[in-house]
Amino acid sequence: MSILVMKFGGTSVATPDRIRRAAKRVGVEVAKGHDVIVIVSAMAGKTNELVGWVRETSPLYDAREYDAVVSSGENVTAGLMALTLQEMDIPARSWQGWQVPLKTSSAHGAARIEEIPTENILGRFAQGMKVAVVAGFQGISPEGRITTLGRGGSDTTAVAFAAAFGAVRCDIYTDVDGVYTTDPRITKKARKLDRIAFEEMLELASLGAKVLQTRSVELAMRYKVRLRVLSSFEEMDDAAGTLVCDEEDIVESNVVAGVAFSRDEAKMTLISVADRPGIAAAIFGPLAQAGVNVDMIVQNISEDGRTDMTFSCPVEEVPRAEKAMSEAKARGEINYHDLVADTEVCKVSVVGIGMRSHAGVAAQMFAALKSENINIKVITTSEIKISVLIDRKYLELAVQALHDAFGLEKAPAG
């Protein structure tokens, strides 16, 4: 018995007609001999509507009741999908998170998956059920309350089920037909990748590519779950989409796999901070406690015992960061002359496992930006990525220039 996991996002199940279209895809896989676990999101827009209702009813809401409300969208989709499959004479049953049960932590709104017992669903497969339709995004806490996994949590649900059940593959159906070298809306030369390594996909997801949720890629990499990203609206084909897999499963790849970007970044600089042991902890501790997601960090050369500390964060978190720094200064934990926020920047990154074995990628990237007269404000690197902060008005130009410079419109040789 082989198990296949198929996940359908909100746009793929937005209407009963689209649910029928998705169900036909499930039927094809059942006909191939698979037992199928289908993970469904809420219909497109439904979760936002439910969140709005919660906030309208109770601005300072109880997180447990928030989860009870917002998880209901997936329950509706799961029931409709199971009914549709039954109308196609395919033995199917819907499962809510607590019925599996998908066991999570107690962190309502951002719960972590702790265990997925397989006995219930495997028992029903043994009795003749062919499809288990599971509501994504939700589980049950040790206290017996419904929990949710955070936005995008249905991707994480799907990968976790694939790992728990030893699935042959996890297919993520969405409104795009795969992973591209960059956003096709910015450059028409963007090319769909046939395969991409887990590490590359994880970097792209964390840097702003919205095809897959970061936590789902982390899980897939840890448990070696082969992921396939494909469109619900394209014709079915065994070679469709993009396979996210081990580096060893990719015969040839370009040095750079893709160009990612994050449009809404801010650059914050603490001017004239004391250069002493522990100053970084004194700065970034309060920021972490305030929930500020710090990314790039640069410390200038010390002069007369003072230095400037620069970091980036999402632009919507600037007020929180300013408040955290002001309060830390008032407590005497840090002392600085000024805090300057530049909210008109963006982050552009090149990602590729080929960087490990090829020199000169940074020089090539910087030369491409120089040729377009784009000034770099901050640079950070890792083993397989290089990221820069630039003025936001140059985002599209920078992405196009880098895509051209690395020849990403061309498939790798071999």
Domains and CATH numbers, the chain: 2-175 (3.40.1160.10)
CA dist., res. 239 & res. 221, Å (int): 21
pLDDT of residue 304: 80
pLDDT of residue 414: 54
Q: From the annotation, which residues make up the binding site?
A: 7-10, 47, 74, 174-175, 180, 185, 210-211
Asked if residue 266 lies in contact with residue 284, where contact means CB atoms within 8 angstroms, the answer is: no
- Cross-strand bridge partners of residue 381: 386
Sequence ranges of the binding site for substrate? 47, 74
Is the entire prediction scored with pTM above 0.85? no
Residues in the chain: 414
pLDDT along the chain (414 residues), means of 10: 93 96 96 97 95 94 96 97 98 97 95 96 97 97 96 92 97 88 90 91 77 87 93 77 87 84 94 91 95 91 85 95 96 93 96 88 96 95 93 96 94 68
Burial 234-247 (b: 16+ CB within 10 A, else e): eeeeeebbbbbbee
In this predicted structure, what is the pLDDT of residue 208? 60
Numbered residues of the known binding site for ATP: 7-10, 174-175, 180, 185, 210-211
Q: Who contacts 408 (Cβ-Cβ below 8 Å, separation ≥6)?
A: 181, 182, 189, 190, 191, 254, 256, 258, 259
Residue 140 Cα to chain centre, angstroms: 23
Q: How are beta strands 258-274 and 306-314 bridged, if at all? A: antiparallel
